[in-house]
Amino acid sequence: MGIQLFKAKYEIEECLDEIRKCLEVGWTGLGFKTVEFENAWKTYTGIPFAHYINSSTIGLYMAVEILKQHYGWEDEDEIITTPITFISTNHAILKSHMKAVFADVDATMCLDPNSVKGCINEKTRAIMYVGIGGNIGNYKKIVELCRENNLKLILDAAHMAGTRYYGAIPGNEAEVVVYSFQAVKNLPTADSGMICFKNGELDEIVRKKSWLGINKDTYSRSSNSGNYKWRYDVTYVGEKGHGNSIMAAIGLVQLKYLDRDNAYRRQLAQWYYQKLCNYNEKIKFVRIEEGCESSCHLFQIFAEARDELMVALNQAEIYPGVHYASNINYKMYEYAKGTCPYSDYVSDHVISLPMNLYMTYGDVQKICDEIIKFITR
Ligand SMILES: *Cc1c(COP(=O)(O)O)cnc(C)c1O
């Protein structure tokens, strides 16, 4: 079986009980558990609005679209973003007919504020920030840059479920925060996400836009006073982007255990670090900012001969990953080639070591022993 990079762990009986409730009331769609989950998420994060969606990918796209329309941004206006991310982040910008301008990352693997500063011009409208691996990076400086330059902040928090910064869940500084609850994320549900606007007016809009632009959802129409209110209006050309009650049922259970699970991830990270820190001439670590309590979605190192190391680990039945190849390598972003040298380094050297809740101290030891064997070969 070997040691997998990701393997989601569920509170199976509790999840089945929550799903059973949906089946018993005959409601698996939008409403019911999705409302419960939104409320639980607002309570957990302290962010005032939350709308449950079927993926973070659709959420990022709707986030850019809605801000663009609301603030009157033009096609080809610019959003500053990172090359080191899952492709959803940057596709959201292109799909909205805006320009993705790549700034470089720093040793935190998140956007480098100095590089971002150099990208700001009169066409810049927003910064898209990704907390890679659950790390906060130089988020605080990016928030300041946004304030100083009147830019909107979009936070791709796909890795950040449960990340804290000086004890608080970050996000209230951003115009919109988008979380992912996809199958391998820290709060796994199979597929879903949450979009959290700061402005209640935009929350109202995304609720309609994620349901094709229809102004009343089927659940509220059927449940209000018993009779099914069939009449509705369509106010936007929207998406089928909302979440459903089966996914939300799983999310509700997993949320209860998110802090416990993230604490164990931090323990795994600490074990890795303890074992590998003496080899810091051959291995570099991602810088974790002071005050950051990371969700530890990933544990990443930079290694020389990364590709050979991957092969060696695979031979020992250890299956790491890479997060991420620079998005500038893909043809639709090639125009930015050569602009982000540190990202190119990351892209060629980064490796994500297995990080799943089934792992033990012994597993971490075994992985580290194999790495040490390789780098001291
Ligand atoms: C996983 C991920 C997404 C997309 O999430 P989905 O819920 O699968 O659509 C977006 N951004 C980042 C950084 C991710 O890791």
H or E element that contains 353 = strand 350-353
Q: To test the ligand 1 pocket, which listed residue (81, 177, 180) has its Cβ within 8 A of the most ligand atoms?
A: 180
Asked if residue 158 has its Cβ within 6 Å of ligand 1, the reply is yes
pLDDT digits (tens, 9 = 90+) for 191-216: 999 999 999 999 999 999 999 999 88
The 3-class SS string of 275-315 reads HHHHHCCCEEECCCCCCEECCCCCEEEEECCHHHHHHHHHH
Across the chain, what does the average pLDDT equal?
96
| Closest atom of ligand 1 relative to the 184 alpha carbon | 1
Q: Is the CB of 88 under 6 A from ligand 1?
A: yes
Mean of pLDDT values over 204-232? 82
Q: What is the pLDDT of residue 1?
A: 82
Three-state secondary-structure class, residue 321: strand
- Ligand 1 center–CA 233 separation, angstroms: 32
AA letter at 291: G
Distance between CA atoms of residues 78 and 125, nearest Å: 6
pLDDT grade for 103, boundaries at 50, 70 and 90: very high
Strand ranges, E, within 28-82: 51-53, 78-81
Cα 329 to Cα 324: distance, rounded to the nearest angstrom: 11
- Share above pLDDT 90 across residues of the chain, in percent, rounded to a whole number: 94
Question: Is 90 strand, coil or helix?
Answer: helix
- Alpha carbon distance 124, 127 (integer Å): 8
Distance CA(364)–CA(154), nearest Å, equals 35
The answer on pLDDT for 102 being more than 60 is yes
Radius of gyration of the chain (CA): 21
Mean pLDDT of the 166-173 span: 97
Report the alpha-carbon distance of residue 115 to residue 343 in Å, rounded: 12
